[in-house]
């Protein structure tokens, strides 16, 4: 645990130093050289599958997301291998400009409301002067549903997620990111507060101009996970069709709010606890920024 926290702290210090250096060079110098322009389209969406990606919602746009999960494949023929069960999250994201965005959502599972923000501290440039993109991601969630048999104030139903996202688009066909992660939540088993520190990884491999293969995994020390909870693992495909992005995937997570899929995943991916699912993303332009 201490090694993970120490590594996350060093990464934060490194990102801060590089950010200050980039700011000192001046925005005019950055934009004046085409090689210094930021790299774009590392991922198709602001979400790899469950996890936040390197992408930011553009200023003046709203991104509507509908996320759907079926039941686990190992539920058997009686439940049609998971198709009889489902959970849904509906949310929206807004680009605020200045490399920042915010998002809100509501999940049927646990009657959970979530809110989050993402800030791209600096972006990878085409000439590799800045070799990686670094973002800060922060989320909070409120579980509306009370735990059975647990008398808890509403204030104790909050959970929080902090991530440092470090990634690079290595080529037009391949992007990868690492995600030092911290989760503060209340255990579904004991109702007590817990802190989890882990490290995630995700990548995108382009298959055609409009399709890609994605995968993500977040590792937590097994002795820190609540009983019956597994590390989240997901694989899937992105299909881009005009203003829509369809994400078809297999995951062992039923929850879609960040605290849910990170700290409450109960399916065992390698023992049939796999849930088919999909995300639908649709971007709307609300206004045209003046600097365009």
Between 3.40.50.620, 3.40.50.300, 2.20.28.10, 2.40.160.40, what CATH number should domain 2-285 receive? Answer: 2.40.160.40
- The reported pLDDT for the residue numbered 287 is 86
Using CA atoms, how far apart are residues 34 and 205, in angstroms rounded to an integer? 26
Buried/exposed 120-144: b ≥16 CB within 10 Å, e otherwise: bbbbbbeeeebebbbbbbebbbbbe
Helix (H) or strand (E) holding 19: helix 2-25
Q: What angle do CA 140, 141, 143 make, to 5 degrees?
A: 160
Closest C-alpha among 245, 246, 225, 247 to residue 235 = 247
Q: What angle do CA 205, 207, 209 make, to 5 degrees?
A: 110
- The reported pLDDT for the residue numbered 5 is 41
- The reported pLDDT for the residue numbered 115 is 97
Using CA atoms, how far apart are residues 210 and 128, in angstroms rounded to an integer? 26
pLDDT along the chain (292 residues), means of 10: 45 42 44 76 96 95 96 88 90 95 94 96 94 97 80 78 98 97 74 82 96 97 86 96 90 94 92 94 86 58
């Amino acid at each position: 645990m201490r090694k993970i926290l120490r590594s996350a702290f060093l990464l934060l210090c490194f990102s801060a130093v590089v950010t200050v250096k980039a700011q000192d060079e001046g925005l005019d110098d950055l934009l004046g050289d085409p090689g210094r322009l930021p790299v774009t389209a590392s991922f198709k969406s602001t979400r790899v599958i469950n996890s936040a990606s390197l992408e930011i919602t553009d200023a003046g746009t709203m991104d509507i997301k509908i996320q759907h999960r079926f039941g686990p494949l190992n539920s058997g023929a009686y439940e049609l291998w998971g198709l009889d069960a489902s959970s849904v999250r509906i949310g929206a994201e807004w680009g605020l400009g200045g490399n920042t965005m915010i998002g809100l959502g509501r999940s049927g599972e646990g009657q959970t409301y979530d809110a989050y923000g993402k800030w791209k501290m600096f972006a990878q440039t085409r000439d590799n002067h800045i070799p990686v993109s670094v973002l800060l991601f922060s989320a909070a969630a409120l579980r509306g549903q009370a735990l059975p048999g647990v008398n808890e104030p509403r204030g104790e139903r909050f959970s929080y997620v902090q991530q440092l996202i470090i990634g690079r688009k290595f080529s037009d066909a391949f992007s990868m990111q690492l995600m030092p992660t911290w989760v503060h939540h209340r255990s579904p088993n004991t109702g007590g507060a817990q802190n989890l520190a882990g490290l995630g990884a995700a990548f995108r491999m382009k298959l055609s101009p409009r399709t890609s293969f994605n995968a993500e995994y977040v590792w937590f020390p097994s002795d820190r996970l609540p009983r019956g909870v597994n590390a989240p693992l997901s694989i899937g495909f992105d299909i881009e069709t005009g203003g829509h992005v369809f994400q078809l995937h297999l995951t062992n997570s039923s929850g879609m709010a960040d605290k849910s899929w990170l700290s409450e995943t109960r399916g065992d991916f390698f023992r049939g606890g796999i849930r088919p699912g999909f995300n639908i993303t649709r971007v709307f332009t609300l206004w045209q920024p003046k600097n365009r």
